Structure 1
Amino acid sequence: MLLKLKDISNSKQSVLIIALIIVIAITFETFQQLYYIKRFQIADDITFFDILKTQSYRWLIWLIFSFILIKFVKAQTTRKKTTLGLFKLIGIIFSLIFINMITISLIQMMLSNNEFSITELFSEYIPFFTYQKAPIYTLGYIAISLILYLYFENEKLQIEVQQLSELKLTNSKLYQKLRSQVDEKSTVLNIKIGNKRKIIPVDQISWIEADDYCVKVHTITNKTYTMRSSLKALEEKLNTNFLRVHRKAIVNMDLATELHLANTPNLILQNETEVPVSKSNLKTVKDFLNSI
């Protein structure tokens, strides 16, 4: 089964792409030189592998110097992107090309058994290898820079995504912890009266009565306020001591004093108010009173 590119890690993908670029560059250059040798009849018995041997050490030198470029590109991804950083990258690439040319020229001069000569080095060897190697070496370094830049940027982005994911998880756990500790029920009711708002603490409410599309909020001071809402909506907001005793009534059970079990059961509140209890809610009321 063929290995899919998406199944390979990003680092391995980058290495494979760089290796492929190097192989293509070496192969292209070797065939190019073989073509010129055959075309101009410089040598008859030269083969592809003969040229490849002489190319190998030169590309090895190029690869060794490329580690300087790798360190620079990695350092740049942690800094703010500026035009100066781009110029520094260009400067490093051309510096590496110059160092490559000198190194290859010196090695080739020694392999040729020629007596060392500064004049010959700068007049023959360096110009020759500059015209032959510099363009493809430059393209190679540029390709490596782009690939590494994208790799390190992607790596940095993945770290940031992981940190955000961990932060989200931490905040979620903190939210759940706080939610379990904090009572989300309302402590007041905000009732609009004309152009004003009346704030009524829920512990001052004795019971709430349904009235068509509104409700009547009865307080312990025997005052009544009309509020546009439904009993169902208020039932979800109020504390557990507020009990639905009838389809038209919610009672503050802290203020209930008696439960009359007549033909029409009702609760007696502290202010002597009688609130009917429906048969369907009677068991709920009894259970509540028994739990106190």
Structure 2
Amino acid sequence: MGQYAIEVKGLRKKFGNQIVLNGIDLKVPQGTIYALLGPNGAGKTTLIHILSTLVAPDEGSVHVSGYDIRTEKNLVKHAISLTGQFAAVDEMLTGEENLRMICRLSGLTTAESRVRSSQLLHHFDLTASGRKRVKTYSGGMRRRLDLAISLVTSRSILFLDEPTTGLDTISRRALWDIILQLRNQGITIFLTTQYLEEADQLADTVAVITDGRVVATGTPEELKSRVGEEVIELRNLKDEVIRTIPTSGTVHDMGQTLHELSHTVPKDTRVSIRKPSMDDVFLALTTTTIKELEGISS
């Protein structure tokens, strides 16, 4: 296998007359976290299903762990693990029973299953609740158990489809810590997310996808620098953001912008200056894409 865990070129997929993926190119370096950021319907889940061999592409080449997903599907399956949007666990069993069942289905002996289950319960901070039925677990505990199940056997690539959707802030951040630990162990993480902060905090590389196309790729800092060095933020008396304006960060540029605003916005408008965020990146990229598509169709 080369330096990339995943290589995709010219990937296209449609369902009926609907084009879901329209020429996707991407490369995921080994041992990194790669975040695919986009709104609902952008094509994130379809892409992750193709990469994990659940859906066949219409066009393009796709290699995962160095294997062609069309001709070497079984080899791909042995190299990857997938955790979907919803926890795939049996609620009537305990956490430990769920793990032991998957261990046995994966070919481990009874003794090996007992040891591996204990290791995973400890690693994911579930030892105390391991003998409780999963139906009593919180959302965060279920997601941790789901991740533990994904790692019953050694895998070099882990696909996470919106892993923190529906979790509270504390559970989400706890899961972030686990994902970072897995990356530090050399596992390649490919995750989809709608959360801008999640991509910013976790990813080594972020790809922004909208309307089935990747419109930008880079580190979080690289993408934020494309928006500008400093952002002027305007708020009304209710402390609501009414406008954000990217600038170069120079005295001249910011001074000129503020001078122009003084003639066009209410005098009680509040002004603050901050660094660009992933929100700014996402809005800038998706707005540009929408305008481009409108121009093509007109």
Give the alignment's TM-score, normalised by structure 2.
0.18
- The structure where helix makes up a greater share of residues is 1
Higher relative contact order (CA 8 A, sep 6+): 2
Give the alignment's TM-score, normalised by structure 1.
0.18
The structure that has the greater radius of gyration is: 1
- The structure where strand makes up a greater share of residues is 2
